A and B are shown apart, each in its own frame.
Chain A
Amino acid sequence: MAVKRYNVRMAGIGGQGVVTASHIISNGVVISGGFSSLVPFFGSEKRNAPVESYVRISNQEIFEIGEIIFPNVLMIFHPSVITLGKSYTMPFYTGLKKGGIILINNKTPLKFSRDEQKELDDTEAKLWYLPATEIANEVAKTDLATNMAMCGAISAIFGLPDLESLAESVKDRFIGKGIVTSGGTAALDSAIEKKFAKKQKLLEANHDTLKASYQYAVEQGWANEGAGSKKESATV
């Protein structure tokens, strides 16, 4: 069996749930029977500070650990990662493998400098824009579900994790085994729980956001880029 590997680098800003999203996707892959590992990268835990997280997804055992220097998928959770350089990796596409996918949370395409555009063109990068914050606001009535929208789209693109396993993973995060991400996240939990009063309601809002962005990605024709399809992933 050929090894399929998706090396995903996520970049966003503190408070958006980038690290949580990576835990949820990774855990979802494992639930669906695949192999996955992840590692987050951040400074002090504070709002609006740069955050990165790396997820490895494979159909076989994964040995490598640590940051992903040469990803084939980028998930940009906030446009300021690119426009304001709020990122540990500059420019944001550094190390992207040829033909890689870039999923950006923004309503409209961003304007790049001539050099950047040339490098993106040379890499033959696929740039996809997902209005994740808008989907979160519309469906869950809070932009805190932005990370769920990003997760849903990834599920549609690769089919791994599938939507069901992803939803199961979100459940693990909130009412299941209680995935530990960090002390800061625990504090955020209590804040968001007050807003939703009940975890169940919170879970439903998250699930709805996952589904909505999954649907959006399917409608855009991004689906089946990976695992489920005949197409091989970029080699690693």
Chain B
Amino acid sequence: MSNAVAKPASWVPKGDLQKEISAEKMLLELPRELQFITGSEAAREAIKRANIDCAISYPITPQSETMQQAGYLFDEGYIKEYYRGEEEIGVMSAIAGASRAGVRALTATSGPGLMRGMEAISSWPGARVTPVLLNMCRVINTPLAIQPDNIEMSFILNTGMIMLHAENQQDFFDYTIAACEVTEHVDVTLPAMVSVDGFFVTHARGPVSIPSDEYKLNRRDGWKNAVPAMDNENPPARISRDAPIQKSNFISYHMHASWQQEVFAAVERSAKYFDVLLKGRVEVINPEAEEFIIASGSAVSQAREAIRQEGENGRTVGLVKVKTIRPFPSAQIIAAVKNAKRILIPEFNQAGWLHKEVCSALYGKCKAEIVNGPRVYGGMTMPTEMILEWLQKTRKDFA
């Protein structure tokens, strides 16, 4: 299959030399070393330590760099199987198959690739397969662009996938490690998508502290999942052709409904694991503030700088960073902003999906004025100056 130079008989895959530990040990206990690397390199370091059995991907800007790096990891023996699929429907279908077979599977894509793979991706949660999908956000609409606009995340919101939104290179490392383990807990057994802004994070250099590569996550035990790994010696040949599911009657509707309820309940059950591994699903700065910014992804970084500059001018602005989009940390957000008077939600997309999520969560629970913006889209970054302007205007409008 591969045209790579054959390994000598004495070759030992480097992954075999790594010691297996839990995600909790890896993320919370091991000493870390600070590196100055790109988001793609941070993803590589995570993949190297995630004990990935099978990676499959199809290149797309800005994801390509990461999966090119994964190719090197395969060559060194950190990933057991790796190949380039034909395109994303094939990739997303194949990766589900790999996961169903009981191994830890990882893929990555960007905006338009995610859209192309959507049919397969939206079938993952119900199939209770556990692949981890790294999503390097990219514009999906016309005019064509390769810049980061995270509108594609809104298409995943209601699939039953776990969704994490990384702010920076450090998060991309940590969240990927966390996702690889949480997805496989028996009471979760779900796929996860770890999103990050393309270019602004993937191609940008930033500080990332990472534990030694002498360690990797414990291997997946496919038998322990809610829907166990397929027994390939005795494959069930008629999964979805069995009458009770396939035929439209009240039994099949009932079955389907309970199945979906269970998927979304499983999403909520993953919360307790992320609370530990990510040290909370929200991060709150200046909790006493009357004015809050709620953000996820890159918008958090811009908000931090705005808050710093406001602080220099003697004004306290609070921040709620949302780390997990699914499960959405409604209770934590309500608690954080209960005394807020004004809330700003900066986003890198036109639709304002985070604004809608926050409004649903806070409806009837908070008296603050929730401002519908600011937003940039088409892949542009949000200048800190824009957040400062909106803060000023909001202060005037809703004094």
Contact A66 B381 (CB under 8 A): yes
**Complex Cα distance A69/B389, Å?**
15
Nearest-CB distance from A30 to chain B (Å)?
5
Stretch at the interface among A34-42, A103-111, A152-160, A215-223: A34-42
Instruction: Given A180-B38, A180-B65, A182-B65, verify A66-B302 contact (CB < 8 Å).
Output: yes
| Contact partners of A62 in chain B: CB under 8 A | 305
With an 8 Å Cβ cutoff, the count of chain B residues facing the other chain is: 32
The answer, yes or no, to whether A192 is at the interface (CB within 8 Å) is no
Binary contact track A49-72/B, C-beta < 8 Å → 1, others 0:
000000000000011111101100
Contact B205 A23 (CB under 8 A): yes
The answer, yes or no, to whether B262 is at the interface (CB within 8 Å) is no
Contact A67 B380 (CB under 8 A): yes
The answer, yes or no, to whether B97 is at the interface (CB within 8 Å) is no
The answer, yes or no, to whether B291 is at the interface (CB within 8 Å) is no
The answer, yes or no, to whether A27 is at the interface (CB within 8 Å) is yes
Instruction: Given A27-B36, A63-B308, A64-B302, verify A38-B199 contact (CB < 8 Å).
Output: no
Contact B204 A183 (CB under 8 A): no
Main secondary structure on B side of the interface with A: mixed
| Contact partners of A183 in chain B: CB under 8 A | 64-65, 68
Cβ 8 A contact of A65, one of B65, B147, B201:
B201
Nearest-CB distance from A124 to chain B (Å)?
19
The answer, yes or no, to whether A133 is at the interface (CB within 8 Å) is no
Nearest-CB distance from B204 to chain A (Å)?
4
| Contact partners of A67 in chain B: CB under 8 A | 200, 380-381
Contact B298 A66 (CB under 8 A): yes
Q: Which of B288-314 contact A (CB under 8 A)?
A: 298, 301-302, 304-305, 308
Contact A39 B204 (CB under 8 A): yes
Contact A66 B382 (CB under 8 A): yes
Nearest-CB distance from A40 to chain B (Å)?
5
Number of interchain pairs (Cβ within 8 Å): 69
Q: Which of A7-48 contact B (CB under 8 A)?
A: 23, 26-27, 30, 36-41, 43
| Contact partners of A36 in chain B: CB under 8 A | 205
Cβ 8 A contact of B301, one of A38, A65, A182:
A65
Closest to B35 in A: A177
Q: Which of A161-183 contact B (CB under 8 A)?
A: 180, 182-183
Closest to B385 in A: A70
Contact A40 B203 (CB under 8 A): yes
The answer, yes or no, to whether B146 is at the interface (CB within 8 Å) is yes
Nearest-CB distance from B346 to chain A (Å)?
12
The answer, yes or no, to whether B117 is at the interface (CB within 8 Å) is no
Contact A65 B302 (CB under 8 A): yes
Instruction: Given A63-B304, A64-B301, A67-B380, verify A180-B385 contact (CB < 8 Å).
Output: no
Q: Can you give 13 contacting A-B residue pairs, CB < 8 Å?
A: A26-B205, A37-B204, A38-B204, A39-B200, A40-B203, A40-B204, A63-B305, A65-B197, A65-B201, A65-B302, A65-B381, A66-B301, A70-B385
Contact surface of B with A, Cβ cutoff 8 Å: 36, 38, 40-41, 64-65, 68-69, 146-147, 168, 197, 199-201, 203-207, 298, 301-302, 304-305, 308, 380-385
Contact surface of A with B, Cβ cutoff 8 Å: 23, 26-27, 30, 36-41, 43, 62-67, 69-70, 180, 182-183
With A38-B205, A40-B203, A65-B201 known, 15 other A-B pairs at CB within 8 A are A36-B205, A39-B199, A39-B204, A40-B204, A63-B301, A63-B305, A64-B304, A65-B298, A66-B197, A66-B200, A66-B381, A66-B382, A183-B64, A183-B65, A183-B68
